[in-house]
Amino acid sequence: MNRGIEVILPETVIRVEDLRKSYGDVHAVGGLSLCVSKGEIFGIVGPNGAGKTTTMDCIVSMRRPDSGFVSVLGLDPLKQRMALLKKVGIQQQESELPDRMKVREAIELFSCFYGNLKADTGILSRLELSDKKESYFSTLSGGQKKRLFVALSLVGDPEIVFLDELTSGLDPRSRRSMWDLVRGLRDDGKTIFLSTHYMDEAEKLCDRVAIIDNGKIVAMDTPASLIRTHAFALSVIMGIPDSFCEREIESITGVVEVFREGGKTIARVRDSSAVVGIVKLLVESEIELGDFHTEKSTLEDVFLKLTGKEIRD
């Protein structure tokens, strides 16, 4: 007797269906639907003003949606708000504390919200803030303040951590440190819901991403699948004379388009075999190259193709 293979489906911890939120005539979120599985890093990505923060705020009950269905850990965020807030951690894009509050005092205060009599100052070590325990909030740098608010989002040992524009304004070293932290939280079994306008961050960090534009999801999948489905495999950048006919390159199998940009000729190709064809053509034509290199497509290329816009801060 053949036994069927048991398929274990991932547990859905966030479910959003047809979420809508408007401010007067401005439709911040317009019919958005998504699901997030337990233990994944899920990102909503897009430019500033795309509706990312509003979406997150509606999911965690910081804002009341106009319509739609939202469930987080099986709870209704509006009807069971207090129960939900004990199970999630939230780092908001813009937050403040009293200038004269010490870092240690902030941790102790937030620990009391979760019924912890003793603050877990080990969180400060994880966020590289141990030496700032007795420092006033007003004396912290922008990056230190950001790390403190992440620490505060973790004091309740949440099942899901919501991070809104986590690395905005941070220097490259601090960004990488935050990425390592997020991966560590995922390895600890936590689910991460991340919003960002940095496409490279989403590509490197997220298990799945939803590209959002004007309050609507235009594509959702793993970063690799989105790039494979919606973007070209490679861009070939060539420093060749303007007089060389671009039509000859366009005729090569696998070449999708050829154009001039920044004094260079750029060919978008579907696979590496087209690169071989281009090189062969240039050699046979005895073209002297000033430059020749390839670049892989990125999530930003996907966004540009799907929305016709570039990501800008």
- pLDDT, residue 310, reads 59
- CATH number, domain of 260, equals 3.30.70.980
Domain-embedded: residue 131 = yes
Residue ending a domain, among 172, 189, 222, is 222
DSSP E strands in 38-159: the ranges are 41-45, 67-72, 88-91
- Averaged pLDDT, 165-190: 90
pLDDT at 241 over 80: yes
Domain-embedded: residue 312 = no
Residue ending a domain, among 176, 191, 222, is 222
- pLDDT-based confidence at 118, cuts 50/70/90? low
pLDDT at 83 over 90: yes
Based on the fold, state whether residues 83 and 204 are members of the same structural domain: yes
Give exposure, 254-288, as e/b (b: 16+ Cβ within 10 Å). bbeebeeeeebbbbbbeeeebbebbeebbeeeebe
Residue ending a domain, among 169, 192, 222, is 222
- Averaged pLDDT, 117-123: 65
Q: Which residue has the higher pLDDT, 121 or 59?
A: 59
Run of H or E including 269: strand 264-269
Length of the chain: 313
- Averaged pLDDT, 166-187: 89
Q: Give dist(CA 262, CA 267) in Å, integer.
A: 13
Q: Rg (Cα) of the chain, in Å, rounded?
A: 24
pLDDT at 114 over 60: yes
- Averaged pLDDT, 15-31: 93
Based on the fold, state whether residues 136 and 211 are members of the same structural domain: yes
Highest mean pLDDT among 48-52, 126-130, 142-146, 222-226: 222-226
Based on the fold, state whether residues 259 and 217 are members of the same structural domain: no
| Count of domains forming the chain | 2
- Averaged pLDDT, 233-250: 87
pLDDT at 136 over 70: yes
pLDDT per position as a tens digit, 247-268: 899 999 999 889 888 889 999 8
- CATH number, domain of 142, equals 3.40.50.300
Q: What are phi and psi of 148, to 5 degrees?
A: -65, -45
Run of H or E including 27: strand 26-37
Based on the fold, state whether residues 283 and 196 are members of the same structural domain: no
Q: What are phi and psi of 102, to 5 degrees?
A: -80, 155
Based on the fold, state whether residues 202 and 102 are members of the same structural domain: yes
- pLDDT, residue 313, reads 47
Q: Give dist(CA 41, CA 206) in Å, integer.
A: 5
Q: If you average pLDDT over every residue of the chain, what do you get?
A: 89
Residues of the domain holding 292: 232-296
Based on the fold, state whether residues 76 and 157 are members of the same structural domain: yes
Based on the fold, state whether residues 255 and 109 are members of the same structural domain: no
Q: Any residues with CB less than 8 A from the CB of 235 and at least 6 apart, and which? A: 266, 267, 268, 269, 294, 295, 297
